[in-house]
Structure 1
Amino acid sequence: MDSGSLAARRSAAVARGVGSVISSYVDSASGGTIVDVDGREWIDFAAGIAVTSVGNAAPRVVEAVREQVGRFTHTCFMVAPYEGYVAVCEALNSLVPGDFDKRSALFNSGAEAVENAVKIARHATGRPAVVVFEHAYHGRTNLTMALTAKNMPYKHRFGPFAGEVYRAPMSYPLRDGGLSGSAAAARAIDAITTQVGVDNVAAVLIEPIQGEGGFVVPAPGFLPELAAWARSIGAVYIADEIQTGFCRTGAWFASAHESVEPDLVTTAKGMAGGLPLAGVTGRAEIMDAVHVGGLGGTYGGNPVACAAALATVETMRELDLCAAAQRIAALALPRLTELAARYPWIAEVRGRGAMLALEVTHPDSVGPNGPTPDPARTAALAKACHEAGLLVLSCGTYANVIRLLPPLVIPPDTLDRGLAVLAEAAAGL
């Protein structure tokens, strides 16, 4: 079966609203490459959107999944519990930043984790309001669409959305006039105080590095001041580490780069080697505030996914994938910086570890929010990469950011080849 035949079958069977970045269909994948059904090899700078950090079909994960499938595939932890769920919660409690007693609960997806974190915060505080930020992305369910900033394709004509969600200004160094982290935090705090009211705020929810919003890295000091302020008013500071977690940025969690200890952390994506699993981890007194039976779900913490997660964490420790992410940055950043120096339409290179991005703008054109975005050139760059066999993703509120998310186990020579393809694609624009 070739990609053309599969495309015809898809057209007849799959809802049109489900899109794909490339038209090829995958046959197999490994640490840094994907092979499609036509036999073409792709260099993978997407990792399933930061999911297959330990690589596809990672040996420990495969072995653990096979062993667990042979014993049992499902009982529902709420009906008949099992060790794997407990072990994953123990691992999360030990890995998530914070020198305090923690508890965890497991779910199916990042959006579900975010929804439950909001539920927990509201229950623990008795307050209704949730504060999120410009350019944020938190999921595709009704509540998480309300939390997400970008309309197309995530929110368009899907409303009305859940209420009591308020949006504050984000620290976006390229686009906020060079505000320091402290000044940006003061601006956000003032907006929350005047527009929401401190006694109404249940949670302040933020991605330490924004994902779909454009890999926005806030100015130093923004996150620590925001977290400290949230606690000072009795609100829950929630770090959405769904894309940034599990070694992606060169630390187990991106909050650690500024020594931030969130009250709650949401996780998913890279935690289970490609299987669907998510979690909420946080302060015991907040997590345990919810009544028995108030948290759960039929598939949350599925035993096969838990086995995969434990094997994924073992692999990350054994291979020191935090250091691997730092090595990827050390190799990639000089190359990306060189491209930015060569092409004035690359306004900024940013990111941490193996979470890197190029923001594409119109040279010498500045609007009210900084350099004028160039989504057309961004799409052309992504298309040129795809045509040359490099799988990259775009993102950003203005659809003008190319993001690079290679598996953390990508071989250096494969990474080098991918960067060369990107450079050649840029040269052709």
Structure 2
Amino acid sequence: MASLEQSRKLVTEIPGPASLELNKRRTAAVSHGVGVTLPVFAVRAGGGILEDADGNRLIDLGSGIAVTTIGNSSPRVVDAVRAQVAEFTHACFMVTPYEQYVAVAEQLNRITPGDSEKRSVLFNSGAEAVENAVKIARSYTHKPAVIAFDHAYHGRTNLAMALTAKSMPYKSGFGPFAPEIYRAPISYPYRDGLLDKELATDGEKAAARAINVIEKQVGSQNLAAVIIEPIQGEGGFIVPAEGFLPALVKWCRENNVVFIADEVQTGFARTGAWFACEHEGPSGIEPDLICIAKGIADGLPLSAVTGRAEIMDAPHTSGVGGTFGGNPVACAAALATIETIEQDGLIERAQQIERLLMEPLLRLQAADDRIGDVRGRGAMIAIELVKSGTAEPDPALTLKLANSAHAAGVIVLTCGMFGNVIRLLPPLTISDELLAEGVEVLTGILAEL
């Protein structure tokens, strides 16, 4: 395949006639329960560009929701997948195992935080990883309850929906949900600071608030696990105050509670480290269990739970697994993804992208009081929009900004409990020029609005 030209180009309006025709077919054939952010139909993607059915080239600041972190159709991944498909596409690991699964587990045990002996188990999706992490924690502790946090997002299966905070569109009308799920307050520096300046900067104080709720409403003697995204994804790219996560880990260790880091969106070099947990405290935190998906296999369905060996080995034999878990083609893609991140210096690239995004966005924030907060790490940056002169969320402005960016050929995503956050998740292979152009487009639109 000829390489995709790395420039934004609009041939038609967005969406164009070919995409509109395909949308008619989609409406007739696909469940209306599936939403679409931007109704252009992709035909090619790579670097920092996605090309649609009309030949429009769009700047990709979404990476398929943080999945194509190493760029779409990354060369090592393409080669590895082709070679594996030619050998075999499936041989259920629980029936006749194969080396590719073992190799991925070995690599995950190596690159995840901490020096303790580890084990891994492979699945298909982030929600599946989350559900199995909870199963493993309950098996290890012989306790039932699980704590999740305000603004959390953990997936769309029944237990994952129970853990997820936001009702619409993820939970509304789909209950009843799994029991023994409780919620505690997150550290949300921007919003906490509106009430208590100290709470915004003192993570230990924010953790004490959460632990107080946990002890009073659940009790550690009943609690199997605390599950948290080190940077919340769908919740609004909320980066907790320094000290919050280490204090939670310390409390969990003292109370025989399993600390689960949901790194589905933050993992695999996205934040300028292999995992976002590595940014916490002087030398990072070591979760007991870590949930991995999204960026793990450059777009092929794969997920994992990796963690301390004694916890991971707690379930009885055949207690975890699944027909497609650790599919050999997805495993080949994951091994090539890890190699690409290490060989091409993409962790350092994520750190560069943070600087390239934060500098112009912070300047913009200083000049425009509708930008309440700019936050994030690596290539995971968010803008929280508020009504001028207030801290009141402005979801209408956020939607207008996103829709206008789409019309101008820049793919951005929204998120946040109040629907007022623009999230930027560029592939790490995007050029400096495309990144700058994407931000310029957003800046120009915001000025017009």
TM-score (norm 1): 0.98
- Match for 2:231 among 190, 209, 233? 209
The alignment-based identity, stated in percent, is 61
State how 1:308-387 maps to structure 2 within 5 Å: 308-365=333-390, 371-387=391-407
State how 1:11-410 maps to structure 2 within 5 Å: 11-176=27-192, 177-178=196-197, 179=199, 180-258=202-280, 259-365=284-390, 371-410=391-430
Q: Separation in 2 of the partners of 1:427 and 1:294?
A: 56
TM-superposed CA distance for 1:202, in Å, is 0.2
Q: Separation in 1 of the partners of 2:30 and 2:272?
A: 38
Greater displacement, 174-183 / 192-201:
174-183
TM-superposed CA distance for 1:120, in Å, is 0.1
The AA in structure 1 aligned to 2:261 is A
Q: Separation in 1 of the partners of 2:253 and 2:389?
A: 42
Q: Separation in 2 of the partners of 1:408 and 1:227?
A: 30
Q: Separation in 1 of the partners of 2:259 and 2:377?
A: 22
TM-superposed CA distance for 1:427, in Å, is 1.1
Unaligned runs of 5+ in 1: 366-370
Q: Separation in 1 of the partners of 2:107 and 2:444?
A: 43
The AA in structure 1 aligned to 2:163 is L
The AA in structure 2 aligned to 1:388 is A
The AA in structure 2 aligned to 1:250 is G
Measured against aligned partners, the alpha-carbon deviations of 1:187-215 in whole angstroms (never above 9, x if no partner) come to 00000000001100100000000000000
TM-superposed CA distance for 1:29, in Å, is 0.3
Q: Separation in 1 of the partners of 2:297 and 2:445?
A: 33
Q: Separation in 1 of the partners of 2:82 and 2:43?
A: 20
Q: Separation in 2 of the partners of 1:412 and 1:375?
A: 29
Is the partner of 2:176 in helix, strand or coil? coil
Measured against aligned partners, the alpha-carbon deviations of 1:309-358 in whole angstroms (never above 9, x if no partner) come to 00000000011111000110111101111111121010000000100000
Q: Separation in 2 of the partners of 1:175 and 1:91?
A: 38
The AA in structure 1 aligned to 2:69 is S
TM-superposed CA distance for 1:2, in Å, is 1.2
Is the partner of 2:296 in helix, strand or coil? helix
The AA in structure 1 aligned to 2:270 is R
TM-superposed CA distance for 1:363, in Å, is 2.3
Measured against aligned partners, the alpha-carbon deviations of 1:5-33 in whole angstroms (never above 9, x if no partner) come to 10111111000010111111111000100
TM-superposed CA distance for 1:364, in Å, is 2.4
Q: Separation in 2 of the partners of 1:19 and 1:134?
A: 24
Q: Separation in 1 of the partners of 2:371 and 2:129?
A: 35
TM-superposed CA distance for 1:133, in Å, is 0.3
User: 2:441 matched to 1:421?
Assistant: yes
Name the counterpart of 1:368: none
Aligned residues: 424
Q: Separation in 2 of the partners of 1:426 and 1:227?
A: 40
Is the partner of 1:373 in helix, strand or coil? coil
Q: Separation in 2 of the partners of 1:387 and 1:342?
A: 25
TM-superposed CA distance for 1:151, in Å, is 0.5
TM-superposed CA distance for 1:73, in Å, is 0.1
Name the counterpart of 2:13: none
TM-superposed CA distance for 1:404, in Å, is 0.1
Unaligned runs of 5+ in 2: 1-16
TM-score (norm 2): 0.94
Q: Separation in 1 of the partners of 2:445 and 2:346?
A: 29
Greater displacement, 2-11 / 234-243:
2-11
Q: Separation in 2 of the partners of 1:293 and 1:339?
A: 54
Measured against aligned partners, the alpha-carbon deviations of 1:47-93 in whole angstroms (never above 9, x if no partner) come to 00000001011000000000000000001100110000000000000
The AA in structure 1 aligned to 2:341 is M
Is the partner of 2:392 in helix, strand or coil? strand
TM-superposed CA distance for 1:372, in Å, is 1.0
Q: Separation in 2 of the partners of 1:262 and 1:58?
A: 30
Is the partner of 1:338 in helix, strand or coil? helix
The AA in structure 1 aligned to 2:362 is T
- Match for 1:2 among 13, 18, 27? 18
The AA in structure 2 aligned to 1:399 is G
Is the partner of 2:389 in helix, strand or coil? strand
Is the partner of 2:369 in helix, strand or coil? coil
Measured against aligned partners, the alpha-carbon deviations of 1:346-387 in whole angstroms (never above 9, x if no partner) come to 00000001000000011223xxxxx21110000011011111
The AA in structure 2 aligned to 1:158 is F
Is the partner of 1:2 in helix, strand or coil? helix
User: Any runs of at least 4 consecutive aligned residues in structure 1 with deviations exceeding 2 A, and if so which?
Assistant: none
